[in-house]
Every structure is written in C-alpha cells, then in structure tokens.
Structure 1
Amino acid sequence: MNASSPVLAVSNLSVGYRRRNQIIPAVHDVSFAIAPGGRMGLVGESGSGKTTVTMAVLRYLPRNAVVTGGSIELDGEDLLSMGEARLGRLRGRKIAAVYQDPGSSLNPTMTIGRQVGEVFRKHFDMDRHEADRATAEALGRVQLPSPERIATRYPHQLSGGQQQRVMIAMALSTNPALLLLDEPTTGLDATVEAAVIELVEELAKELGTALLMVSHNLPLVRYLCDETIVMKSGRLVEAGPTGQLLSTPRHPYTQALVACVPTRAHRKLSNALRAEGQPERPNGSRRAAQLERALAASDPVLEITDLVKDYETPDGMVHAVRGVSLTMRRGEVLAVVGESGSGKSTLARCVVGLESFTHGSVVIDGKSMPANHRQRDRSAGTQRPTLVFQNPDTSLNPTKTARAVLRRSLRLAGTNTSAVEKIASETELRPEHLESKTRRLSGGLKQRVAIARASVGEPSIVVCDEPVSALDVSVQAAILNLLAHRQAETGVSYLFISHDLDVVHYIADSVAVMYMGDIVERGPAQAVFSGPHHPYTAALMSAATPIGDETRRERIKLMGPTPSAYEHIDGCVFASRCPVTLADGRCTRHVPPWREGPGGKSYKCHRTPQELHDLLGLSRSTLTPAAAELVAKEHQYE
C-alpha cells in the first residue's frame, strides 16, 4: 500500500435501520479519510449518527441495520465485503475500539486479569505467565493502582473510571493501526483523562496509529485531534482543521455546539447576587466577596464532621473516606471534585443515607443523622436528601412511563400524585414525555425525569453525582441551566459531585477537592480556581484544557505510585505522588495542617505556595496565569 494512502477511507456511506418493513435512514452520504497517524474527531449530538458510523467501520452494526450505499476501506481492504474469519483477525489486532460504557463491554463473570490476558494470548500467542506479566504492565500504563490486585477483581468491584481504564489498556495492548475511541474518557477525572490521552497521543506518534475519536468533549477533541467532522441528523455538516473549526465555526449547528460548552468565562447567576440586583456574571473578587458574605449569613443545611467510612472486604479494610469535614449552607452549590476512587460518591451516599458511616457525624437541617443508614427516618413527608445519579439508564425503571415514576415518588413522599404535571412542567417535561416509557426517552430527557423525581417533596439538599458527564454538550448545558433555575426558584442546596472542572466552575459556589478519601483544599470556587494552593489541585487545574485555549499548557505530571485504599496512611494522603514531598519524612509521618489562603479558602499541606514554586521550578506556563501570580504574591498573606 502507498504510504500516502489513507488507513481508513469512508466514501459516501449511507446506513438505515429496518423497522416495520421500512428502512429508516440514519446516516446519509458520509465521506472522510484518515491518513496513517492522523487524528480525527467526530462530534455531534446523540442521534446524529456518530456511533452508527463507528459501528459500520467495525462491522458491528445490529442485525436490523442495512448499509444502503458507499464503501469502507481499511488499509485498502474492503471491510464491508470482508469475511468473518478475516474480520476476526483484524479486530483487536489491527483495529481496536474503546466504548463509552465499560460496564457493558466487560464480562461480569471473568476477572480483569483474565479478560486483559485473553488479548495477549490470542494476538501474541503468550502462555499464561507471560500474559499475566503483560497484563500487569498494561494496567500500570493507564495508572491503575496495584495492578496485580486489580487483575484479581471482577468488573463490578471497580469504579466506572477504573473500568474504563481497563478497556483502554486492552485496546492499547495490541498497538493497533486504527484506534476508535467512542467517548473514551466520559467517566474519567481530569488528571487521569489527561494521562490517558497523552498515552494515546504518544502511541499515535510512535507507531503511526490513526485515531477516530467520537466525543462530546470539545476541549478534548481540540487537544487531541488534528481534523474534526461535525454530524447532525446523520449528515456531515462541517469539516476542517480542529482549531479553526472550533474557534470560528461556520455552520450554525457547530456554532451552537461550541456555545453550549461551559467555560470559565460563563458563571451561573447565584441566588444571593440575583436578590441583590447585581448584573449577570460579575467578575473576579467582587463576585467572590459578595457571594462569601451572602453564604456566610445563611444557615448551614449540611454539616459533616470527621466522617470516616471503612469497608470490610476479604482482602482487608478499605478506607473509602478518611475524616472529612465540610459545611454547606442553604442555597449553596458545593462541588466535590477529585479522581475516580477518591471517595466522592461514597461521601455522597453517606450523606443521602444509602450507606452507613463508620465514625463522625452528619447533621442535616440541624438534625443529626444516625450512622446506620437503616435507622434513617424515611417516613412520608420527612425532609431528606435526594439523589440524581450519573446514569439514568440504571436508576430509572425502563418498563415504567415517566408519569408512573413520578407518581410513585410523589406517593412515597406523601404528596398528592396529581402534582405530576406541575413538577414535569418545572423540569421542562412535556405531556408526551410523561406517557413514554423511560427506555424510549433520550439521555437528556431521562435525566430531566431523574431531576424531577429528586425534586419531589422540595428537599433542602439534592446530591448530584456526575449528573451531566455522559451527556452531549447541548444537553449538558440544558441540564445545568435547569439545575441552576430550580435552585433560584426553590433555594435548594446542591452537593455536586463531578470530575469536569469547567462544569464545576460554571455551577459551583464552593469547591472541595478530594483525594484518597480526604479533603485537601476547600473554599469559594472563585478563590480555588483563581489560584490552587495544594499540589494536587494544581495538577487537576493543569490537566484541564479550556476550549478557547490555543496553547497546550504544560501539565503537572504525578509520577509516584497511587496508594491503595487498603493502606493506612499516617501522613499526607498525597505524599507518594506529590512532587514536593518533604525529604525529612514530615509528609509521610504527620498529617499536614490546614493553612488559610486568600479569598476565604484553606488547604492541607506542609508546604507554602512559595515553597511549591521554588522546589518544582514551576514556570508561569505550568500553572494557570492566576496561580502563577498568586505564587508570586504569597508573601503578602503568608
């Protein structure tokens, strides 16, 4: 094959689905090509045809799908006419894929080690011991802690982010010529996402691997992909160099997609500032100071003190939450951010009463909650926190209509079930949506049903656990605006769990950064985002790439080993990965003190920001501009 020939060529592809003796068109006359080593992004809303295109490339279309026209060639070979035997040799070796939902891709009856090892045994003819060694190396490459231990676990024993890292490890293990990435980092936090994408990028450069990435994460597409195509309703509406396409989109649909991305320049209008009649999105320290005063004057709705959550397992005690203390005031959005496995969701489940906690206290509306979640008062009419899950597909009964789901929640809350229409209207659900079974609704509509259900009984606290991470940018923006609108109307407080820093910056009033079950930095969102103090927060910030950022800011790489949740940690939980751990052992032997920073925030570290700057030799390009300026001015408030 000629070196200049594309590794993947899709020409005039059209695909439809058979339904009731008709063929419903899904993809219309789509053409594109990817050169060896090329990196192409494929973006568009749910239903635009993105996944149908990738499934056609892999020859994984469902039985009712029909390719009605066009061709697909891989290295000059016609994939559409290829026999199953040849396809079997190509899949996983020459062409590999990473899908959005790892839970449906991993076999729940097989250990992780056995599943990853199968790749090496099939494609590289390794024996069991060789495959085991290669499996541990592959899991380590994607920064999974204790790879040997992870290999012995089953998929359900891993978090969603850990499951996705396993899938990425499997796909990268064969060094494929073409790698298809279908929303590959949806469940990953910023640091792991950045590390994995850098690994994919390095592989593409070294081996000439071509990438086709389907994603709603436009900043990620901008970072990784050289070219981007935009699809709407099964048609290609715009294509071109990624930077140019996302900076100056020409098609109205592309312009709308870019406008929907939450950025650090767009902030929600808080209740307090709206009440004061302030203009929308006041900037910088003025907004931060006003918001801090307003929230300080309100009553605490949630007080968490020295919360500890341990799990007893056959392998030992898991320390999921290690002495967390937080306060959330009425009408506040408190965001908890951190890596997968940091304890964010466990903390949320302890607050909402789905998990018992081992030690500490949780006080809601002035009432102390029992440590045993089974002793919580769940009687009708009781004010209790509600929960919006990450994936509505697993939290809504697919056999019930949206109306039935809401009526049941109203009945359990002791509220008149005739209020369905009212709460549906408040969450922008139309009458036809209420009569549809939840499985037939789009992802955004399902999440609206979940929010409506969580709003029943007007709870004072709603816990949102990654509520928009799996949604397209336009749907994500609509859901975020809905949450902000409901907060303005009802004064509800949100405990918002997320790994997306731009989403957090858009919606949160306060931020708590969590690592290995402990809070390492907390304070008003404006203060935390304008200049992180803790090294882990700085690493999180450096890993995020805003969509409007023309340059690739140098990432603070965390090179040390990630501690296991089974470990008892005497000192700082971040010491093993921190680039500025004290040589005298203070970080590993002693819990760091809380230090007060500017803007009302605090951070847990033995080092000052000036020491961080001096020891790392960080340039202003490594930290955000605001952080670099803050470091330079440290002496003013130390």
Structure 2
Amino acid sequence: MSRADHDPSARATTPTAPSAVLAAVPLLSVRGLRVDGPAGAIVAGVDLDVRRGETLALVGESGSGKSMTVKALSGLLPAGVRATGTLELDGEPLPLDPAARPWRTVRGNRVALLLQDPFTSLSPVHTCGAQIGWALPGKPSRAERAKRVAALLAEVGLAPDTADRYPHQLSGGMRQRVAIAAVLAADPDLLIADEPTTALDATTQHEVLELIARLQRERRMAVVLITHDLGLARSRADRIGVMYAGRLVETGTGAQVLDAPAHPYTARLAACEPPLDRRLPLLPTIPGQVPAAHAVGAGCAFADRCELALPDCRSRYSPLLAPAPDDAEHLAACLRIGESAALPVPAPEAAQASEAAAPRTGGAEPALLVTGLVKRFPRTDRPAVDAVDLRLERGEAVVVLGQSGSGKTTLARCVVGLERPDAGTVAFPLSERDGGGPRGRRTTDPGRVQIVFQDPYSALNPGHSIGTTLREALRAAGRPDEDPADLLELVGLPREYVTRRPRRLSGGERQRVAIARALAPRPGVLVCDEAVSALDVSVQAGVLNLLARLRRELDLSILFITHDLAIARQVADRVHVMHRGRVVEHGPADAVLTAPAHPYTRQLLASAPAAH
C-alpha cells in the first residue's frame, strides 16, 4: 500500500498517478452500454472502466448522454427507460435492470450518487443529522447513530451541532458537505458526483473538491465526476471521457484530451473555455446542437458541425483509435484522428471585436446608483448586505464576485425590488433623453430594471408556450400589440419557437427566452444572477456573446452576479468583490483580477481551477 493510502497530505490536489491506478483491476466495468427511451437510443454503446482510487471525469454538452450513463451505472434510470449491455462491479456481474434484486444492496451502499443541488436532494423538513442517519447501514441504536453521525460530520469538516440544523439554515457549501456525509455513510466503493460544485463559488468549490479527494484517498474510493467545467476536469481527474450524442468520442488523461485533443469536437469544446488571464474579443462557440443519439445514422454524429468532415464521415463511424502507436491510453473516434490542430480559430467580426473587447473607462451617465445599502435577516449575527455603494453607468457591465453567503445575491434582489433594504437607497437616474431634465431625476419604476435567474426552467411556466410567456411580459410592459417573435429574434432564436413549450428547448435556448422576457419592458438595467453557471461551456459562451451584443445594440447596463472568475474577466468593465456583506475591493476588471489588493480577492484567484 502506498503512502497516499495512509497519509491524506500525500495527494493534495494532483490526480493519482495514472500508471499506479491503471495497474489495478477495474472496480466497475461496463461494455456495450445502451440506454433506450420511448423515442429510441439515448446512449448508443459505451465502454468504461473505473479503478479503485481513480477519478474519471465525463464531459460534453447537454444531450451528450452523460447523466443517463451514470444513472444506468447507479441503478437509477427513470420509468420508461431501459439499459442493455454488461456491467461488472468488482468482477461480479450486475444486471442493468434497476429493479433487479442485487441493486437493493448495491445502490446507496456500494455505489452512491452525489447530486448537483443539495438543497433539492435534502429534505427541507428534517434535520441534517436525521438525514445522515437514514443512510447508515444496519440498525444502530439511537446513541450509536448519534455518535456515527457526529463522526461523519467531523469527517466532512462540520461541527457536531450541524446535526440539529435544517438545510435552509446552512450555506450552499455546508449543505453539499452534509450531502457528502450522507452518501458516504454506507462507505461506498464508487461515488458518482453529478455536477457537485456547479452552484458553488471558487473557494467553496475548492474546499468541497479537496474534501472529496481526501475521502477518496482515505477510503480508496473510485469517483466518476460529471462536469461541464473543463478546468475542473483537468485539475481533478486521472482520466477524462468526452461524450457526444450518446457515445464516447475521446478518452485519455487531462493533458492528452484537453491540451492535445485528437477529436475535432474535443478541440472545439476546449476552445470555448473562457480564459482567466485575458479578455477575448468574442468567445468561440460551436454552432448547432447535439443531435439525439437515435437520430444519428451510421456516420459520425459530429459531422454536421465539423469543419474537417469528409464525405465518409457521414456514412461510417470510426471506433476509438489511438492517435499514436505508442499511446494506448489516448483514444479518439474520428476518421481524421489527430488533425484537430488544423481547425481554424474562429475570428470575430472586427466591429464586434472592438466593441466587446474595450472596457468602459467611466464618465458616462449613471444607470444605477446604490448608496449605503443595508439588508438584515432575522436571527443572523451580521447584515447580509452592509453599507454597500455601487455605481453602474449606461452601457457598462459591473460584475459582483464573492463566496456563497457574501451577500451578492441579496444585493441583486434589493436592486430589483425582490427584497426591501433596511437602510440606504437604490435609484435609477433618468437622463435628459429619458425625460429626466437637465439634472435628471430618480425612479424606482420596475420597468427600469429586470432580472435573469440562474435556472431558466424553473423561471418559465412549463405549461405555457414561449409565445404566451412573452405576450404576458409585453402586456405587463404596456406593449400588447407587439409581436413576441420579434423578442425571439432579438436573442437569436427562430420566430417559430413561439409555439413551443420550455421542455422542448435546450438549457441555453430557455435562458435566451428568459432574457427575451426580461427585455420586454425595455429596461435600462439588466441584472444577471448566475445566469450562465448551469450551462455547458459552449452554450455559456453563446449566451455571454449575446449579452455583449445586447449591451451594444440597446445601450444596456448589466449587473452580473457570478462566482466564476473566468466569466467575470470576459464580462466585466469593473468588478466589485463582496465578503461577509461588504465590498472589500472594487475597480477596473483588469486591475482587480490581475493584481488584486485585498487578501480575500487573492484567495478567490488562488482557488480557481488550475486550467485557468
């Protein structure tokens, strides 16, 4: 047994050495995995091996089959969906039918699932201790259960009194730690983590990932990590698998897959990752969408979006092959394997590039003035927002950064009127062209400001068509005679989407609808609260490019709340950093993100994934 098996400090942030891991017998092995739903194939044939102590990251756009793959491997397929193929756990065959008897002792015990949002996976009406206790194997006595719950809480870095608290009384990072304690209560061999840190800020994300890595070392546990964050996959995984339209198209180490991609899709995906060290004139995107696996014929599913596609690519599919004879661990399914370096770098139009790349320098008319804002909540020892001043100029983008609990979302809710501040003012000065007179005047008219939330699906009524949703917004804005299809065109969606319902749209399309609805009152200020954090990297880039275009065309001011520093770099003219309710640093984005003056800002930058 290696030193890493005894000493948690032996591996702090670096992945397990691949040579040591690959020598082990696979803990989990699946061959020819196919998942079929009512419409046909969702996953069209996947082979995977995961070894003890190894972290395998699965990346790819929404619709690529990642989540359905891991649901099949954890025995949690929804009704009406079935899996075929062969599955072995520690060398023993395991049926892929989730109703089969063996899953009763495997699911939650040997194979555990950690979900993206702990607030929805934890019961809001039961204490955290009770929920961890439910996951303990056997039938421990009350005293033994309390002792084991306290030990699990200590293992994830939480105080014993957390057992008596409810999920809503904890921060996002603390809730995720409780969820980790619950899934580890049965000491599983395999942990499947589905986007476990998407909604967390950089420092909390770092802490949670370090916790998972430490527990993985101490327990020799295998981890399958589902993520759309390529930097996280690179810095945390021993191997990466890239999925597209229900198939694995490339596998290898992080350096192999992301630094020297052999498949054009991987190369395009990696190019969409926003850099932390510089602001791009326009973020690269991948035109088109991932096709459904059942809609793909005999050829490569990526052919219609690929600049390197040959006629043969549309008629036959390549198996996974090594780009070099001596590189058996790096495989890609492409007839032009290894030629992705020939892909041209997308060049933005000159006008767009110059507009998007140049930050505002100040001196413009103010669109939003926040002065001395204070917001307190009952039974808290400090204000959620404490004496915050903020100025947003016409056509400017200001980003508010900070950890969970720093007060940035509360600030945004006060700005749009969803929370009433205890002190201070929020004002939207009107210029002469708005009818405010030479000195301007102040107004709290809600038409001056609108908000776009993180989850567009929960923000849209699933029973209403897109047209109905937009017509309601236009009617509320006093524009009942205008065509909602015009709003769709404004955000880059086809006019015929007016008849569709939200479930028929992708996540990025739903977020564009949410932006269109917010633009119905023609606001001067748009507040975006983590508006792209739940989106795939390529879709995220498209939405950020859209917001940059709307700023130019509508002279729109944007207050952007995010925990992602790379996104902040691409969006912000100026940055405000919040910590414990106060703004601890603010200034031009380049200055704050390149040479931060405050220790807390430096800590945020140090916590960013290594790829950035």
Pick from 69, 73, 79 the counterpart of residue 53 of structure 1: 69
CA distance in 2, matches of 1:140, 1:335: 35
Pick from 222, 235, 238 the counterpart of residue 223 of structure 1: 235
Pick from 525, 532, 541 the counterpart of residue 477 of structure 1: 541
Pick from 535, 551, 565 the counterpart of residue 487 of structure 1: 551
Does 1:76 pair with 2:91? Answer: yes
Can you list the C-alpha shifts for 1:418-450, whole angstroms capped at 9, x where unaligned?
A: 231211101012133221111332211110110
Unmatched 5+ stretches in structure 1: 368-375, 550-638
Question: Which is worse superposed, 54-63 or 434-443?
Answer: 434-443
Secondary structure in 2 aligned to 1:304? Answer: strand
Give 2:31's aligned residue.
11
Letter in 2 for 1:447: Q
Give 1:37's aligned residue.
53
Letter in 2 for 1:28: A
CA distance in 2, matches of 1:56, 1:179: 14
CA distance in 2, matches of 1:327, 1:440: 39
Contact 1:40 1:227 in 2 (8 A): yes
CA distance in 2, matches of 1:427, 1:54: 34
Give 1:304's aligned residue.
370
CA distance in 1, matches of 2:548, 2:152: 42
Letter in 1 for 2:528: C
Letter in 2 for 1:73: E
Shift of 1:159: 5.1
Pick from 125, 135, 145 the counterpart of residue 109 of structure 1: 125
Shift of 1:112: 2.2
Contact 2:86 2:96 in 1 (8 A): no
Letter in 2 for 1:514: M
Contact 2:72 2:96 in 1 (8 A): no
Contact 1:98 1:182 in 2 (8 A): yes
User: Taking structure 1 as reference, are residues 466 and 44 closer, same or farther at Cα in structure 2, changes over 3 Å only?
Assistant: same
Question: Which is worse superposed, 109-118 or 483-492?
Answer: 109-118
Secondary structure in 2 aligned to 1:188? Answer: coil
Secondary structure in 2 aligned to 1:42? Answer: strand
Give 1:528's aligned residue.
592
Secondary structure in 2 aligned to 1:311? Answer: coil
Does 1:98 pair with 2:114? Answer: yes
Does 1:243 pair with 2:255? Answer: yes
CA distance in 2, matches of 1:407, 1:348: 26
User: TM-score scaled by structure 1?
Assistant: 0.75
Does 1:178 pair with 2:242? Answer: no
Matches within 5 A, 1:106-505: 106-119=122-135, 122-123=136-137, 125-136=139-150, 138-139=152-153, 142=156, 148=161, 150-158=162-170, 160-265=172-277, 267=279, 269=281, 280=354, 291=359, 294-312=360-378, 315=379, 319-365=383-429, 383-505=447-569
CA distance in 2, matches of 1:497, 1:428: 23
Give 1:541's aligned residue.
605
User: Taking structure 1 as reference, are residues 155 and 437 closer, same or farther at Cα in structure 2, changes over 3 Å only?
Assistant: farther
Letter in 2 for 1:362: V
Letter in 2 for 1:195: E
User: Taking structure 1 as reference, are residues 444 and 279 closer, same or farther at Cα in structure 2, changes over 3 Å only?
Assistant: closer
Secondary structure in 2 aligned to 1:356? Answer: coil
Contact 2:427 2:443 in 1 (8 A): no
- Which of the pair has the greater relative contact order for Cα pairs under 8 Å at 6+ separation? 2
Secondary structure in 2 aligned to 1:499? Answer: coil
Shift of 1:342: 1.2
CA distance in 2, matches of 1:305, 1:138: 44
CA distance in 2, matches of 1:345, 1:134: 36
Can you list the C-alpha shifts for 1:72-118, whole angstroms capped at 9, x where unaligned?
A: 11112222168755423333332211112333322233222221232
Give 2:308's aligned residue.
none
Contact 1:267 1:281 in 2 (8 A): no
Secondary structure in 1 aligned to 2:38? Answer: strand
Aligned residues: 514
Shift of 1:522: 0.8
Shift of 1:277: 7.5
Secondary structure in 2 aligned to 1:164? Answer: helix
Shift of 1:41: 0.7
User: Taking structure 1 as reference, are residues 399 and 90 closer, same or farther at Cα in structure 2, changes over 3 Å only?
Assistant: same
Letter in 2 for 1:215: T
CA distance in 1, matches of 2:365, 2:124: 46
Letter in 2 for 1:114: A
CA distance in 2, matches of 1:488, 1:134: 57
Contact 1:486 1:492 in 2 (8 A): yes
Shift of 1:55: 0.4
Letter in 2 for 1:49: G
CA distance in 2, matches of 1:127, 1:385: 56
CA distance in 1, matches of 2:187, 2:355: 47
User: Taking structure 1 as reference, are residues 395 and 157 closer, same or farther at Cα in structure 2, changes over 3 Å only?
Assistant: farther
Secondary structure in 2 aligned to 1:296? Answer: coil
Letter in 2 for 1:341: G
User: Taking structure 1 as reference, are residues 203 and 142 closer, same or farther at Cα in structure 2, changes over 3 Å only?
Assistant: closer
Letter in 1 for 2:44: H
CA distance in 2, matches of 1:505, 1:137: 41
User: TM-score scaled by structure 2?
Assistant: 0.79
User: Taking structure 1 as reference, are residues 351 and 281 closer, same or farther at Cα in structure 2, changes over 3 Å only?
Assistant: closer
User: Taking structure 1 as reference, are residues 524 and 139 closer, same or farther at Cα in structure 2, changes over 3 Å only?
Assistant: farther
Contact 1:266 1:281 in 2 (8 A): no
Letter in 1 for 2:398: L
Contact 2:281 2:352 in 1 (8 A): no
Shift of 1:137: 5.3
Shift of 1:124: 6.2
CA RMSD of aligned residues (A): 2.7
Can you list the C-alpha shifts for 1:233-253, whole angstroms capped at 9, x where unaligned?
A: 101111111211001111111
User: Taking structure 1 as reference, are residues 336 and 134 closer, same or farther at Cα in structure 2, changes over 3 Å only?
Assistant: farther
Question: Which is worse superposed, 239-248 or 171-180?
Answer: 171-180
User: Taking structure 1 as reference, are residues 282 and 349 closer, same or farther at Cα in structure 2, changes over 3 Å only?
Assistant: closer
CA distance in 2, matches of 1:73, 1:278: 53
CA distance in 2, matches of 1:143, 1:485: 44
User: Taking structure 1 as reference, are residues 163 and 419 closer, same or farther at Cα in structure 2, changes over 3 Å only?
Assistant: farther
Question: Which is worse superposed, 170-179 or 7-16?
Answer: 170-179
Shift of 1:324: 1.1
Letter in 2 for 1:239: T
CA distance in 2, matches of 1:134, 1:319: 35
CA distance in 1, matches of 2:155, 2:512: 38
Letter in 1 for 2:127: T
Secondary structure in 1 aligned to 2:207? Answer: helix
User: Taking structure 1 as reference, are residues 277 and 155 closer, same or farther at Cα in structure 2, changes over 3 Å only?
Assistant: same
Contact 2:57 2:239 in 1 (8 A): yes
CA distance in 2, matches of 1:484, 1:207: 47
User: Taking structure 1 as reference, are residues 508 and 400 closer, same or farther at Cα in structure 2, changes over 3 Å only?
Assistant: same
Unmatched 5+ stretches in structure 2: 1-21, 283-347, 432-441
User: Taking structure 1 as reference, are residues 55 and 436 closer, same or farther at Cα in structure 2, changes over 3 Å only?
Assistant: same
CA distance in 2, matches of 1:307, 1:339: 19
Shift of 1:152: 3.7
CA distance in 1, matches of 2:76, 2:450: 39
Question: Which is worse superposed, 358-367 or 472-481?
Answer: 358-367
